[in-house]
Amino acid sequence: MISLSINNQRVMVQPGTTVLQAARKLNINIPTLCNHPDLCVAGNCRVCVVEQTGARTLIAACAMPAAEGMDIHTNTLKVRNARKHIVELLLAEHRSDCTKCYKNQKCELQALANEFAFGDTIFYDLVEDHPYTIDASSSAFIKDDSKCIRCQRCVRTCAELQHISAIAVAHKGMHQKISSFHDRPMSHVVCTNCGQCVVRCPTGALVEKTAIDQVWDAIYESDNHVVVQTAPAVRVALGEDLGYDPGERVTGKMVTALRQLGFDSVLDTDFSADLTIMEEGTELLTRLKKALVDGDKKISFPMFTSCSPGWIKFIEHKYPEFLPNVSTCKSPQQMFGALAKTYYAQKKRIDPAKIVSVSVMPCTAKKYEADRPEMRASGYKDVDYVLTTRELAVMIKQAGIDFRNLEPTHHDSIMGESTGAAIIFGATGGVMEAALRTAYEIVTGREVPFKNLNITPVRGMDGVKEAAIKIEGCKEEWKFLEGVTLKVAIAHGLANANKILKQVRKGKSPYHFVEIMACPGGCLGGGGQPIPTSLEIRIKRMKAIYAEDEHMQFRKSHENPEIITIYKEFLGQPNSHVSHELLHTHYVERENY
Amino acid sequence: MENRGLNKVDLIFEKVDLKDILSNAFKMKNSDIIQKVLDSGLKGRGGAGFPTGLKWKYTAAVKEPEKYIVCNADEGEPGTFKDREILDRVAYKVYGGMAIAGKAIGAKNGIVYLRGEYRYLLPKLLKELESFQRLIKGIGYDFKIRYYLGSGAYICGEESALFESIEGGRGEPRNKPPFPTTSGVFNKPTSINNVETLVTAIMIIKYGPESYSQLGTKDSRGSKVFSVSGDTPTPGIFELELGMSVQQFVDEFGDGDTKAVQVGGASGFCVPRKKFQDTVIGFEGVPTGGSMKLFNSSRSMYNVLHNYLDFFAEESCGQCTPCRVGCQQLLKGVEKVKKREVKSTYLNELMKLADTMKVASKCGLGQSVGNAFRTIVENFREEIIY
C-alpha cells in the first residue's frame, strides 16, 4: 500500500492507483474532461491539474500514479488559475452556441465552464480562424468539428474499444483535428455507425442525427397510422435520462408514455426478436444438417449472428470474405419493419402506405440500417424513423409527461407480445442464450439443461465468452446431431469481435455459432443509450435485463403465442419462402479505409 | 558567479582511435563506466541538462533483457545545427558513444533517430556505420545500431514523442511517469541521449572524468558545441568551455551592435544588452542546447517574438490544451497589441497565460514557450507595443 496526502487528508491506496482515483477515495472532486472510465489515460486536456509539493510543474491527476509520501493540493491559487485558463482556452476553440445546441445542459464542457469560467474571458474566439466541417453525411450521427475540443475520447473509443480507427487525429498544432481517412465524409469510411464515440463525446461535436421532428410530424399527420416498436435494452436505460438511477426497469411507464405521445400502436421489438430466434435457430440447424449429413463443403462455420448493424458494417468492411458465415436473418428491427407494412397492415386492414413505422433503439447504427437499400421488402421503407433511447427521453420531456407518476401499461397487440428470451437480446450473450433455449428444445424436445433456463456461461461482461453444450437424446429428425458438442462463443465490442475474426481467418476457430454485438455489454451499452456510460452502469442495466427475463410469463421464443400465430397465419414455416422474402437479407462487401 | 572566460576547446571533433577507446571500455565494469560519467558532471547536451550518468544509472538498474540506447539526432531547435556537423564529421564517435552507453546500461541495440531534413547525410552515415559494425565485431562485442528518420515535426525531438514516432505512431509526448529509463521505446528501458552527449561520453572515457571536469563551472562542467547565427560576422560551429558570460560571447561573435542574444533557440531565453555582463551561459544562468542567435539594433524584437510564436503554434503537437490553444492566443494576442486593438496591459494577461502554459502543459515544448515570450516581452516591451 501507498500512503499519500491530499488536501492534508491521508489516504492509503494500492500501487498503480492514480492521484485522481486516490482523491475520489477521499470524496475530493477533481474536475476531468478527457478522462473516461472505459478508455486509456490520455492526460491531454489538463483540466485535472493539481499541485504536488516540491514538483516543478502542476501534475495531471488522471495520469500521475500515486507515490509514497506525495503531498497533493487540489485547490490552491496556482491550480485555480491554471484550471480557469484551461477551461477558457477550451471554450476559445469551441463554438459555444449553447442554447441552440443539442447537448445543451448535457455538455461536460458547459458544466466546467459553469464552475470555472463564467464571466468575460480574456481570450480570443478561435473558431472562425480555422476552416471547419459539420459532417452530416452519416445516417446515424453528425460530426461538428467546430464544437470539438480535441479530448480524443472518440479517437480512443474507436481505436481501443472497436479496433476500427475510422476517426483519428490529423495534423498538428493549431491545425490539429479529429479527422477521417483523407477527410472523407463519415458515410464513406470504415465507420460502423456504432455511436460509441457519440456516447463518450463530452460536447456536441458528436451527436446522433435526430429524427425527433420527423416523428412529431408523422404523429400530427392525422392520416397516418404511426406504429412504434421498442427494443429490449431501451426499457432498462430510458429511466436514466428521466431522473432514475441506472438499472431501473421502466417498461410499463415507457409504453404509457409512448401512447401519450400519440403513437397509434405501441408494439415491441421483442416480438421480432423471438421471430429472429425461430429463423436464425432454424438456419443454424439447417446449416449443421447440410454440413454434417449432406457433406456440403460450401457451408462453413462458425455462423455469426446478424442483429447488430454496427457489427454487420464492421464485417462488410474488415472481413468481407466471411460474409457467407453471417446469418441471413435481418435484425429484429428490420423484421419488425417488414412485417408492420405487410402482416400487421393486412391484419389491421390498414393501407401500408399510410403506416409510419418508428423504432426506439439503444443504437445509432439502427438509423443507418433502416436507411439501407436492402431494407424495403414490404415495398416501402420498412422502418421510417429510428429514435435512440436519448431521443425518446427528449420527446417525453417535450410533451410535458410526468413520467415518474405514469401508470404502467402493456404493449398493444398484435406484434406486442414478448418473452424473456427476447428481453435478454439487450445484453451480451442474450441472443445466444435465447437461441440455445429454443434450438436445444427443438432438437431434443427437452429444456436446456440449465437451472431456471439461465445459461450462465454466456452471461457477464467478459470480452469473449464461450460455452459448449453436448446434444443428447435427439428427436428422430435430428439424430445426426446425437452426441455432437455444440460450441459457441460470444463477443461484444468490436475489438473483441476482431479477436474472434482473426482466429477464424487463421482457420483456428472451433465454434459452430458466434454471437457478436458491436457495443460493449451488447445493446444495453449501445450508442443510443443515455450518457454517461461505464462498466458499472452497464452491469446495472444488465442485471435489470435478467430480472425482467425472470419475471416474464414466457421465457422461450417458440412459446410466444404471437409467434405461433404468425407462423400459422402468415409465414408458414421458419425459413419459408415468405420468410426469406421479408425476413432475410444479403450483405455488401465494402472498402477498408 | 564563477566565470571561466571564453576558451575554445577541441574535444568533440578531435580525431581518436576508437578501437583503442572501445577495447578499454569493454573491459571495464558497467558500474565503472557509469561512475566515470557521473564524476565528470556531464549534463545532457540537448538542452534539458539531465545528468547523463544518472540517466545511465537508472536505466542500468532496471532488470530487463531488452533495453535500448537511442541517439536523439532530431536536431530541430531553431538556430541549432551542431549535431549535423558532428554527424557529418565524426559519426564514428557517435556510434562509439552509443556502444559504450549500451554496454553501461546493458543494451544490445541502438537506434539513431535522424532529423528528416538530414536525410542527405544518410548514405554516408550508413557507410560509416558499416565500418563501425565491423570494428566492434573485430573487438568481439555485440551491439547493433539502426536508423529511423523523422518527418519534419519539431515535437519529435521530445524524447517520448520520438519513441512514438519510432513505433509508427503520431509524434505525441507521453505521460510521465513512466520515464524512458523504465519504459522508453517499444516500452523497454531506454537511455536517450543527444548526439553531442554521446561523443562527450567517449572523450570522458578517453581522458578520464578528472581531466574533463577541470573544464567549466560547478553547475556546468565541460565544454559545449555552440551553433552561432544571426547578426554575426562569424556564424558557424564553435566548441567552447562552459562558464563564459554573454558579454564575453558577444565580444567574440557580435558585430559591435548586438542588442540581444537568444540563448537556446525558440524555447530558450532572450538576454538583452544590459544583462550581458551578469549572465553566464550554462545551467546556472541561461542553459542552451547550442543555439546562440545574435540580434543587432536593426532587428525588431516584435518580429523575433512573432516568429517564435508562429513556430510554436505550428509545431505544438496539438495534444494538450495549454500548448495547442495557448500558443495561438499568445500569437494572436501580441498581434492585437501591435495593431493597438487592445491595450498594452493585455501583455500582462498574456504573461499569466504563459505562466499557466509553463506549469500545466504536458511536455517540455508547452512548458518552455513562456521562456522566450517572457524574456522578450519583459526586456523589449516597447518594441512589442509600438
User: Which residues in chain A have Cβ-Cβ distances shorter than 8 Å to B321?
Assistant: 44-47, 86, 89-90, 149-150
DSSP state of A238: G
Residue from A46, A64, A88 to probe the interface with B (highest B Cβ count within 10 Å): A46
Q: Which residues pair with A514 in a beta bridge?
A: A304, A489
Closest Cα in chain A to B336: A124
Q: Determine the pLDDT at residue A547.
A: 97
Contact, A556 vs A391, CB < 8 A? Answer: no
Give the residue among A173, A132, A170, A175 at the shortest CA–CA distance from A154.
Answer: A170
User: Which residues in chain A have Cβ-Cβ distances shorter than 8 Å to B327?
Assistant: 173-174
| Cβ–Cβ contact A112 with B under 8 A | no
Residue A521 has pLDDT above 80, yes or no: yes
Task: Return d(Cα B184, Cα B382) in angstroms, integer.
Answer: 45
Task: Return d(Cα A213, Cα A219) in angstroms, integer.
Answer: 10
Shortest distance between the Cα of A124 and any Cα of chain B, in A, equals 7
- Contact check, Cβ <8 Å, A89/B326: yes
Q: What are phi and psi of A466, to 5 degrees?
A: -140, 160
Here the cell at position A306 is 446478424
User: Which residues in chain B have Cβ-Cβ distances shorter than 8 Å to A58?
Assistant: 359-360
Over its C-alpha atoms, chain A yields an Rg (Å, rounded) of 25
DSSP state of A507: T
Domain edges within chain B: 18-212, 301-385
- Contact check, Cβ <8 Å, A174/B175: no
DSSP H helices, A40-97, are 77-92
Length of chain A: 593
Residue A307 has pLDDT above 70, yes or no: yes
Distances (CA, A) of A256 to A251, A252, A267, A340, A360: 9, 6, 12, 20, 14
- Contact check, Cβ <8 Å, A126/B360: no
Element housing A304 (H / E): strand A303-304
Contact, B139 vs B17, CB < 8 A? Answer: no
Task: Return d(Cα A552, Cα A418) in angstroms, integer.
Answer: 8
Q: In what order do the strands lie in the sheet with A2-6?
A: A9-13, A2-6, A71-73, A49-52, A59-60
Task: Return d(Cα A507, Cα B208) in angstroms, integer.
Answer: 61
- Contact check, Cβ <8 Å, B317/A64: no
Which residues in B have their CB inside 8 Å of a CB on A?
153, 155, 170-172, 175, 177, 312-322, 324-329, 332-333, 336, 346, 349, 352-353, 355-356, 358-362, 367
- Contact check, Cβ <8 Å, B325/A92: yes
Q: Determine the pLDDT at residue A303.
A: 98
Element housing A241 (H / E): none
Task: Return d(Cα A193, Cα A195) in angstroms, integer.
Answer: 5
Other CB atoms within a 10 A radius of the CB of residue A46 amount to 32
Give the residue among A221, A493, A526, A532 at the shortest CA–CA distance from A358.
Answer: A221
Domain edges within chain A: 2-75, 120-207, 212-271+333-405, 276-330+418-583
3-state secondary structure of B287: coil
Q: What are phi and psi of B317, to 5 degrees?
A: -70, -20
Here the cell at position B386 is 509600438
In chain B the beta strands, taken as DSSP E runs, fall at: 68-73, 109-114, 144-149, 190-194, 223-230, 236-241, 258-263, 269-272, 291-296
Closest Cα in chain A to B367: A57
Shortest distance between the Cα of B267 and any Cα of chain A, in A, equals 16
pLDDT, chain A, mean: 97
User: Which residues in chain B have Cβ-Cβ distances shorter than 8 Å to A167?
Assistant: none
CATH number for domain A212-271+333-405, candidates 3.40.50.1780, 3.40.50.300, 3.40.50.10490, 3.40.50.720: 3.40.50.1780
Task: Return d(Cα B55, Cα A168) in angstroms, integer.
Answer: 34
Task: Return d(Cα B324, Cα B347) in angstroms, integer.
Answer: 19
Task: Return d(Cα B81, Cα A494) in angstroms, integer.
Answer: 48
- Contact check, Cβ <8 Å, B318/A46: no
Examine domains A120-207 and A276-330+418-583 and report if their fold is the same: no
- Active-site positions of A? 280, 283, 307, 327, 366, 369, 374, 523
Handedness of CA A113, A115, A116, A119 (dihedral sign): positive
Angle among Cα B120, B123, B128 to the nearest 5 degrees reads 125
- The C-alpha torsion from B331 through B336 and B342 to B343, rounded to 10°, is 70
Contact, B176 vs A64, CB < 8 A? Answer: no
pTM over 0.90: yes
Q: Measured between CB atoms, which of A93, A152, A175 is closest to B325?
A: A93
**In this structure, which amino acid lies at residue B141?**
Y
**In this structure, which amino acid lies at residue B230?**
G
Residue A463 has pLDDT above 90, yes or no: yes
In this structure, whether the domain defined by A120-207 belongs to CATH 3.30.70.20 is answered with yes
Determine the topology of domain A276-330+418-583 in CATH.
Fe-only Hydrogenase (Larger Subunit); Chain L, domain 3 (3.40.950)
Closest Cα in chain A to B356: A82
Contact, B373 vs B354, CB < 8 A? Answer: yes
Element housing A103 (H / E): none
Contact, A426 vs A307, CB < 8 A? Answer: no
One pLDDT digit (tens) per residue for chain B, 386 residues: 678 899 999 999 999 999 999 999 999 999 999 999 999 999 999 988 999 999 999 999 999 999 999 999 999 999 999 999 999 999 999 999 999 999 999 999 999 999 999 999 999 999 999 999 999 999 999 999 999 999 999 999 999 999 999 999 999 999 999 999 999 999 999 999 999 999 999 999 999 999 999 999 999 999 999 999 999 999 999 999 999 999 999 999 999 999 999 999 999 999 999 999 999 999 999 999 999 999 999 999 999 999 999 999 999 999 999 999 999 999 999 999 999 999 999 999 999 999 999 999 999 999 999 999 999 999 999 999 99
Contact, A43 vs A85, CB < 8 A? Answer: no
Q: Determine the pLDDT at residue B47.
A: 87
CA neighbours closer than 13 Å in the CB half-sphere of residue A175: 8
Residue A502 has pLDDT above 70, yes or no: yes
CA neighbours closer than 13 Å in the CB half-sphere of residue A148: 30
User: Which residues in chain B have Cβ-Cβ distances shorter than 8 Å to A172?
Assistant: 153, 155, 171, 314-318
* Domain boundaries B18-212, CATH class: alpha beta
CATH code for residues A2-75: 3.10.20.740
Q: What are phi and psi of A572, to 5 degrees?
A: 80, -105
Task: Return d(Cα A505, Cα B352) in angstroms, integer.
Answer: 57
* Percent residues over pLDDT 90 in chain A: 98
Give the residue among B266, B261, B264 at the shortest CA–CA distance from B277.
Answer: B261
- Contact check, Cβ <8 Å, A173/B314: yes
Give the pairing of strands B109-114 and A177-179.
unpaired
Tell me the pLDDT tens digit for each residue of A126-142: 999 989 999 999 999 99
| Cβ–Cβ contact A117 with B under 8 A | no
Tell me the pLDDT tens digit for each residue of A526-556: 999 999 999 999 999 999 999 999 999 999 9
Other CB atoms within a 10 A radius of the CB of residue B14 amount to 15
Q: Determine the pLDDT at residue A119.
A: 87
| Cβ–Cβ contact A76 with B under 8 A | no
Task: Return d(Cα B162, Cα B160) in angstroms, integer.
Answer: 5
Here the cell at position A10 is 491521508
User: Which residues in chain B have Cβ-Cβ distances shorter than 8 Å to A173?
Assistant: 312-318, 324, 327
In B160-319 the beta strands, taken as DSSP E runs, fall at: 190-194, 223-230, 236-241, 258-263, 269-272, 291-296
User: Which residues in chain A have Cβ-Cβ distances shorter than 8 Å to B361?
Assistant: 46, 57
Tell me the pLDDT tens digit for each residue of A152-206: 999 999 999 999 999 999 999 999 999 999 999 999 999 999 999 999 999 999 9
3-state secondary structure of B237: strand
Task: Return d(Cα A480, Cα A101) in angstroms, integer.
Answer: 60
Q: What are phi and psi of B318, to 5 degrees?
A: 90, 0
Instruction: Go through B36-55 and write b for each residue having 16 or more CB atoms within 10 A of its CB, e for each that does not.
Output: bbbbbbbbbbbbebebbbbb
- Contact check, Cβ <8 Å, A172/B317: yes
Q: Measured between CB atoms, which of A41, A86, A90 is closest to B360?
A: A86
* Percent residues over pLDDT 70 in chain A: 100
Task: Return d(Cα A216, Cα A263) in angstroms, integer.
Answer: 10
CATH code for residues B301-385: 1.20.1440.230
- Contact check, Cβ <8 Å, B321/A49: no
Q: Measured between CB atoms, which of A58, A173, A176 is closest to B360?
A: A58
Shortest distance between the Cα of A17 and any Cα of chain B, in A, equals 13
Which residues between 122 and 161 in chain A have a beta carbon less than 8 angstroms from any beta carbon of chain B?
122-124, 126, 129, 149-150, 152
| Cβ–Cβ contact A73 with B under 8 A | no
3-state secondary structure of A330: coil
Give the pairing of strands B68-73 and A513-517.
unpaired
Length of chain B: 386
3-state secondary structure of B212: helix
Task: Return d(Cα B286, Cα B270) in angstroms, integer.
Answer: 9
3-state secondary structure of B130: helix
| Cβ–Cβ contact A65 with B under 8 A | yes
Closest Cα in chain A to B349: A122
Q: Which residues pair with A537 in a beta bridge?
A: none
Shortest distance between the Cα of A156 and any Cα of chain B, in A, equals 13
- Contact check, Cβ <8 Å, A126/B177: no
Here the cell at position A347 is 391484419
Contact, B238 vs B9, CB < 8 A? Answer: no
Q: Determine the pLDDT at residue B2.
A: 79
Q: In what order do the strands lie in the sheet with A134-135?
A: A134-135, A141-144, A206-208
